[in-house]
């Protein structure tokens, strides 16, 4: 009996080691766009230059395979690479943001006292994408798909760098993997996660899928809201995505209570650049 | 009581250098640090979705990371400035520790990229360094 239990334990360890599964859920907290009906359509502002518009168009089309979320690309209103947000939609920008270690950033704003996303921005960093290492279609597509995916309320499926067959992983399409396109689009796990976040009919249900041997599951929490933040103009569009110029260097957290009722929380770490670790 | 006071007196504190700074972002998770029982060092940020910002970095292998050089068998401890859940510690491709809390410790057996992934009240965050076995 003891030997049998040992064999079972060994088998369990082997099974755990040989099967891969994504995080049980990859929602970004409980953040979601408020809306009164499904499916809903988010406007995505194109402020892009070079070949980026093509990557945004492809990413938008890929995410539109969702049954609950649709996206439509509209002219951008962000003005420049600082990427000023616009209420009720997502602005997407590119620019040379410096050799600071990051390829892409997604930022969302939350209505005060709620978990409702009111606006979002995406920045992709041309300081790196202009270099031969990163300037390839698959890496650009991967990052664009992932960053706009964050603004729907999604986190990463995996952060180990392994191939998880989704743009919400950390697989790097560089070097020998530059021609690999397996992580440039959302997979069924991402679409399931959107249902888990937004679909009331999936509330309380566990949705499972397997893509190329990678399993994903999530439990639905979706509900409809009494108001909508999608396309809403009530929150204005001039929230500051960057620390204000007047920021006191001795402080590290700024909480701005905006006149429109929105809260912008900005955490700042000021340090001598000589100690910068990223990159 | 005296023993606790002695332990506190000899405990390795956080580094005296400023914590890591990432240019161009407005949100960072609380910084984390590592000690080997004698010295301490800040870990670099890996990718994170914290509060209202997701930041996606270059692959760890393509970054300049803090180096932690230790003897094989040295006990290493990572300190978070929050109560972490679902902590996973990988060195290279091997998972060497998992757990929860404000610290997590393991014995260094091999070198490679250290990737500490944790969930906290603000979201999920990764912290990075390079382990060298001397």
Go through B71-96 and write b for each residue having 16 or more CB atoms within 10 A of its CB, e for each that does not: eeebebbbbbeeebeebbbbbeeeeb
Question: What's the CATH number where B35 sits?
Answer: 2.60.40
Q: How confident is the model at residue B130 (pLDDT cuts 50, 70, 90)?
A: very high
Q: Which pLDDT does position A274 carry in this prediction?
A: 26
Read off the pLDDT of each residue in B52-77 and give the average, rounded to a whole number.
97
> Looking at per-residue confidence, does A154 or A2 come out higher?
A154
Residue A109 has pLDDT above 70, yes or no: yes
Residue A115 has pLDDT above 70, yes or no: yes
Mean pLDDT taken over chain A? 82
What span, in angstroms and rounded, lies between the C-alpha atoms of B55 and A155?
11
Contact B50, B125 (CB under 8 A): yes
- Any residues with CB less than 8 A from the CB of A50 and at least 6 apart, and which? A94, A126
Read off the pLDDT of each residue in A129-139 and give the average, rounded to a whole number.
97
In this structure, is residue B121 part of a structural domain? yes
In this structure, is residue B76 part of a structural domain? yes
Distance of CA A20 to the CA centre of its chain: 22
Distances (CA, A) of A113 to A122, A264, B68: 24, 12, 42
Verify whether the Cβ–Cβ distance B66 to A277 is below 8 Å.
Answer: yes
How long, in residues, is chain B? Answer: 134
**Strands (DSSP E) along B1-134, which ranges?**
33-35, 40-42, 44-50, 53-57, 67-70, 75-91, 94-107, 112-120, 123-133
What pLDDT, in 10s, does the model give residues A213-227? Answer: 999 999 999 999 999
**Residue of chain A with shortest Cα separation from B113:** A160
Mutate to test the interface with B, among A183, A235, A277 (most CBs of B within 10 A): A277
**Rg for chain B (alpha carbons), in Å?**
15
In this structure, is residue B98 part of a structural domain? yes
What span, in angstroms and rounded, lies between the C-alpha atoms of A220 and A215?
17
Contact A157, A277 (CB under 8 A): no
pTM assigned to the model: 0.84
**Residue of chain A with shortest Cα separation from B44:** A277
- In the stretch 50-109 of chain A, residues with CB closer than 8 A to chain B read 97-98, 100-109
The minimal CB distance from B44 to the residues A97, A146, A277 is found for A277
Residue A189 has pLDDT above 70, yes or no: yes
> Looking at per-residue confidence, does A17 or B98 come out higher?
B98
Q: Which pLDDT does position A158 carry in this prediction?
A: 92
Nearest CA among A161, A243, A271 for reference residue B90: A161
Q: Give how far A109 is from chain B: nearest CA, Å.
A: 7
Q: Which chain A residues touch B63 with a CB distance below 8 Å? A: 101, 278-279
What span, in angstroms and rounded, lies between the C-alpha atoms of A124 and A107?
12
Q: Which pLDDT does position A7 carry in this prediction?
A: 42
What span, in angstroms and rounded, lies between the C-alpha atoms of A212 and A192?
16
In this structure, is residue B101 part of a structural domain? yes
Residue A86 has pLDDT above 70, yes or no: yes
Q: Which chain A residues touch B59 with a CB distance below 8 Å? A: 161, 170, 172, 174
Q: Give how far B37 is from chain A: nearest CA, Å.
A: 22
Q: Which pLDDT does position B11 carry in this prediction?
A: 78
- Any residues with CB less than 8 A from the CB of B126 and at least 6 apart, and which? A159, B45, B46, B47, B48, B115, B116, B117, B118
Any chain B CB within 8 A of the CB of A119? no
What span, in angstroms and rounded, lies between the C-alpha atoms of A185 and B94?
28
In this structure, is residue B61 part of a structural domain? yes
3-state SS assignment for residue A150? helix
> What is the helix (H) or strand (E) element at residue A262, kind and residue range?
strand A262-267
In this structure, is residue B23 part of a structural domain? no
Backbone torsion region of residue B32, taken as left when φ is above 0, otherwise alpha when ψ lies between -120 and 50, otherwise beta: beta
Verify whether the Cβ–Cβ distance B66 to A29 is below 8 Å.
Answer: no
The minimal CB distance from B27 to the residues A31, A170, A266 is found for A266
Verify whether the Cβ–Cβ distance B52 to A174 is below 8 Å.
Answer: no
Contact A48, A92 (CB under 8 A): yes
Q: What is the DSSP letter of A192?
A: H
Distance of CA A203 to the CA centre of its chain: 22
Number of domains in chain B: 1
What pLDDT, in 10s, does the model give residues A16-46? Answer: 333 466 667 899 999 999 999 999 999 999 9
- Domains defined for chain A, CATH in brackets: 21-219 (3.40.390.10)
What percent of chain B has pLDDT above 70? 93
In this structure, is residue B87 part of a structural domain? yes
3-state SS assignment for residue A191? helix
> What is the helix (H) or strand (E) element at residue A198, kind and residue range?
helix A188-198
Q: Which pLDDT does position B5 carry in this prediction?
A: 60
Mutate to test the interface with B, among A92, A101, A107, A154 (most CBs of B within 10 A): A101
Instruction: Say what angle helices A137-150 and A52-63 make with each other, to 10 degrees.
Output: 50
In this structure, is residue B4 part of a structural domain? no
Question: Which residue range(s) make up the domain with B32?
Answer: 28-133
């Amino acid at each position: 009996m003891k030997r049998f239990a040992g064999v079972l334990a060994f088998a369990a360890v082997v099974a755990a080691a040989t099967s891969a599964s994504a995080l049980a859920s990859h929602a970004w907290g409980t953040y979601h766009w408020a809306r009164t009906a499904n499916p809903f359509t988010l406007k995505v502002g194109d402020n892009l230059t070079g070949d980026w518009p093509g990557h945004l168009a492809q990413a938008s089309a890929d995410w539109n395979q969702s049954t609950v979320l649709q996206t439509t690309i509209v002219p951008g209103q962000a003005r420049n690479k600082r990427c000023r947000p616009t209420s009720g939609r997502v602005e997407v920008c590119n620019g040379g943001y410096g050799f600071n270690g990051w390829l892409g950033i997604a930022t969302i704003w939350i209505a005060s006292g709620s978990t409702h996303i009111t606006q979002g921005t995406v920045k992709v960093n041309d300081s790196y994408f202009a270099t031969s290492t990163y300037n390839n279609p698959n890496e650009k597509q991967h990052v664009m798909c992932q960053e706009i995916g964050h603004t729907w309320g999604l986190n990463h499926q995996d952060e180990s760098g392994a191939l998880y067959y989704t743009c919400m992983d950390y697989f790097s399409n560089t070097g020998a993997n530059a021609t690999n396109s397996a992580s440039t689009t959302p997979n069924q796990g991402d679409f399931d996660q959107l249902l888990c976040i937004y679909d009331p009919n999936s509330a309380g249900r566990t949705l499972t899928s397997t893509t190329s041997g990678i399993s994903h599951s999530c439990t639905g929490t979706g509900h409809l809201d009494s108001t909508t933040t999608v396309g809403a103009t009530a929150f204005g569009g001039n929230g500051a995505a960057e620390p204000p110029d007047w920021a006191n260097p001795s402080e590290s957290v700024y909480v701005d209570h905006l006149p429109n009722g929105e809260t912008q929380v900005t955490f700042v770490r000021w340090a001598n650049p000589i100690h910068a670790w990223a990159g | 009581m005296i023993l606790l006071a002695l332990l506190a007196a000899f405990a390795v504190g956080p580094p005296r250098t400023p914590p890591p700074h990432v240019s161009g972002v407005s949100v960072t998770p609380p910084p984390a640090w590592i000690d080997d029982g004698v010295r301490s060092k800040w870990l670099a940020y890996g990718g994170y979705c914290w509060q209202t910002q997701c930041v996606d970095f270059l692959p760890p292998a393509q970054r300049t990371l803090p180096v932690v050089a230790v003897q094989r068998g040295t006990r290493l401890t990572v300190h978070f400035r929050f109560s972490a859940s679902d902590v996973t510690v990988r060195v290279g491709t091997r998972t060497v520790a998992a757990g929860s809390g404000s610290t997590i410790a393991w014995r260094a057996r091999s070198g490679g990229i250290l990737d500490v992934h944790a969930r906290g009240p603000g979201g999920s965050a990764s912290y990075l360094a390079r382990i060298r076995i001397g």
